Amino acid sequence: MEDEFFLHPIAIEETLDEIKTAVEERARALPEERNVRKKLDGWVLGITELQTKAAHIQQHIIPQVRRDLQFDFEDSNLILRVMVDGTAKDMFSDMLKEFPETRHPELRKSIYEFSKLPGKVESLAYLGNAALLLAAVHHLWASDTTPSKAMLDQKGQPFKDKKYQAQLERKWMLYENTIGFDHKPRSNIDKENHDRSTLVEAVFGLLYIKGGLDAVIKAMPLFLEEPDIKRELGSSRT
């Protein structure tokens, strides 16, 4: 898993700068009335929007996540890469057509790697989900020296429910601030909760990779602080 996600650990903001500079240089070489020039100018505006969102995440969201998880992550690009969504994929696919590999091999590599980032999130979320469930069992086991399977099933249920993970995500505001275009809340609450919980699980997948299970267990109070989970755990006491 670590090799898959970290094989090409691109720096999000630096890569966007590199791509934007190349597009601007290409645009300046063309007459303003050319359709290709207009398309390139549109890409510059699009990349600028992505840069603004990446800067907002760096300044406001990542510090909150680090504080809540009590974990530094060393490289903030880990979380930034999780935050790249698929809505800009078409733009980057068009860029690959404009910059042939024979003339722009390194630039094409950067564009391609950036466009593939959204596909990594589901894998990280799968790992994060498993780590969260195991950490929940550790927490519940520590509170009862001889827990029954029924008790683990009952008290562990809140940690499995997407809506509770979505509540934590709303605290961090990941869903509303992904690095992409025209991101609007879904009308279907279940689908929205799925998308929100996937982002949380992906962050916990990173936490597990970089800090191990102990780091995930240490972060469990984040869920225990949620009022609905407190209510669930309180009502399930025997």
Query: What single letter denotes the amino acid at residue 179?
Result: I
User: Which fold would CATH assign to domain 120-235?
Assistant: Ribonuclease iii, N-terminal Endonuclease Domain; Chain A (1.10.1520)
Mean pLDDT for the chain?
A: 84
Q: Which conformational region is residue 173 in: left (phi greater than 0), alpha (psi within -120 to 50 degrees), or beta?
A: left
Q: Is the pLDDT higher at 102 or at 219?
A: 219
Question: How does residue 3 score in pLDDT terms, banded at 50, 70 and 90?
Answer: very low
Q: Hey, what are 168's tokens?
A: 């934590």
Q: Is the pLDDT higher at 162 or at 49?
A: 49
- Return residue ranges of the chain for CATH 1.10.1520.10: 120-235
pTM of the model: 0.84
Render pLDDT for 124-182 as a digit per residue (tens, 0 to 9). Answer: 999 999 998 888 888 777 766 666 777 767 666 666 677 777 778 888 999 999 999 87
- Radius of gyration from C-alpha coordinates of the chain: 21
Give the per-residue SS3 of the chain.
CHHHHHCCCCCHHHHHHHHHHHHHHHHHCCCCCCHHHHHHHHHHHHHHHHHHHHHHHHHHHHHHHHHHHCCCCCCCHHHHHHCECHHHHHHHHHHHHHCCCCCCHHHHHHHHHHHHCHHHHHHHHHHHHHHHHHHHHHHHHHHCCCCCHHHHHHHHHHHHCHHHHHHHHHHHCCHHHCECCCCCCCCCHHHHHHHHHHHHHHHHHHHHHHHHHHHHHHCCHHHHCCHHHHHHHHHCCC
Which range is least confidently modeled, 39-53, 80-94, 213-227?
Answer: 213-227
Closest CA to 172 of 193, 192, 200: 200
Per-residue confidence (pLDDT) for residue 230, from 0 to 100: 59
pLDDT at 21 over 80: yes
Render pLDDT for 100-131 as a digit per residue (tens, 0 to 9). Answer: 888 889 899 889 888 888 878 888 999 999 99
pLDDT at 238 over 50: no
What percentage of the chain exceeds 90 in pLDDT? 42
What percentage of the chain exceeds 70 in pLDDT? 81
